[in-house]
C-alpha cells in the first residue's frame, strides 16, 4: 500500500511534520501490512495565490496539478493539519483551493487519516473539525482522526516519538484503519 503523507504547513520546523513522520514510521513498522509511505513537503508545491482571474488567464497552476496527481497515484492519504487562527494555514488553503478547481473531490476517494497538533490544549482541533466535517464533500474516505494537544509535552523530538501512552494508542488505532478494506 502506497501512502502519501504530508503536513499541511510550510514551516521548516513543523511539529505536524514531526508527527506525520512518526506516524509514517509506525505504519511502515507493521501497523499496516506492506505500507510504503512517501512524505512530501508543501514547500515543493507552492502555486501563486489563487484567484479566478489567474485561473482564467493561465489555467490550473502546475504545482496544484502535481499535488492533485500525487494524491491520485496513492492508495491512501495521511495528513496532519497545522492550525492558524482556527483554520488551515494559508499555504495549504491556497494549494487546496487550486486543487479543488481540478476536481472538488480533492482526496479522490482515497482512504484518509487526518491528524493535527499544536502546543495548545486543543491540539488544532478546530482545523481538524473543519477538515473532517467537510471530508464527505471533498472525496475523503475518512477512516479516523486524532488531534494531539500540548505537542511539546507529549512528543520527544530527540526520538521523534509520542511519549504519552494514551495518545500513542489513539494514534496507532487511527493509523491501523488504513489497512482495513
Ligand X SMILES: Cc1cc2nc3c(=O)[nH]c(=O)nc-3n(C[C@H](O)[C@H](O)[C@H](O)COP(=O)(O)O)c2cc1C
Distance between CA atoms of residues 87 and 90, nearest Å: 9
One character per residue 122-141, x = contact with ligand X (rule: CB under 6 A): --x-----------------
Distance between CA atoms of residues 141 and 110, nearest Å: 6
Answer for which of 49, 73, 86, 173 binds ligand X (CB under 6 A) is 86
- C-alpha 11: how far from its chain's center? 14
Q: What is the largest CA-CA distance in the chain?
A: 52
Cell numbers for 152, please give them.
511539546
Instruction: Give the chain's radius of gyration (CA, Å).
Output: 16
Give the residue with the Cβ less far from ligand X, 61 or 115. Answer: 115
CB 112 within 8 A of CB 39: no
Answer for which of 66, 70, 84, 168 binds ligand X (CB under 6 A) is 84
115 sits near ligand X (criterion: CB under 6 A): no
Give the residue with the Cβ less far from ligand X, 17 or 143. Answer: 17
Residue list 16-35, contact with ligand X (CB under 6 A): 16
Answer for which of 72, 120, 139, 179 binds ligand X (CB under 6 A) is 120
Give the residue with the Cβ less far from ligand X, 32 or 115. Answer: 115
Span of 8-16, 35-43, 46-54, 134-142 interacting with ligand X by CB under 6 A = 8-16
* Residue ranges that bind ligand X, judged by CB under 6 A: 7, 9, 11, 14-16, 82-86, 118, 120, 124
Amino acid at each position: 500500500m502506497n501512502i502519501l503523507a504530508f503536513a499541511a504547513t510550510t514551516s521548516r520546523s513543523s511539529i505536524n511534520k514531526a508527527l506525520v513522520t512518526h506516524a509514517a514510521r509506525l505504519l511502515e513498522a507493521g501497523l499496516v501490512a506492506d505500507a510504503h509511505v512517501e512524505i512530501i513537503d508543501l514547500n515543493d508545491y507552492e502555486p501563486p495565490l489563487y484567484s479566478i482571474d489567474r485561473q482564467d488567464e493561465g489555467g490550473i497552476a502546475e504545482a496544484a496539478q502535481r499535488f492533485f496527481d500525487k494524491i491520485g497515484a496513492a492508495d491512501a492519504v495521511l495528513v496532519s493539519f497545522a492550525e492558524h487562527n482556527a483554520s488551515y494555514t494559508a499555504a495549504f488553503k491556497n494549494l487546496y483551493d487550486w486543487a479543488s478547481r481540478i476536481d472538488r473531490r480533492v482526496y479522490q476517494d482515497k482512504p484518509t487519516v487526518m491528524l493535527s497538533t499544536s502546543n495548545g490544549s486543543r491540539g488544532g482541533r478546530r482545523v481538524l473539525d473543519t477538515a473532517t466535517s467537510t471530508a464527505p464533500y471533498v472525496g475523503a474516505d475518512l477512516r479516523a482522526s486524532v488531534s494531539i494537544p500540548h505537542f511539546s509535552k507529549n512528543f520527544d523530538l530527540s526520538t521523534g516519538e509520542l511519549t504519552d501512552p494514551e495518545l500513542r494508542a489513539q494514534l496507532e488505532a487511527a493509523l491501523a484503519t488504513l489497512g482495513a478494506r
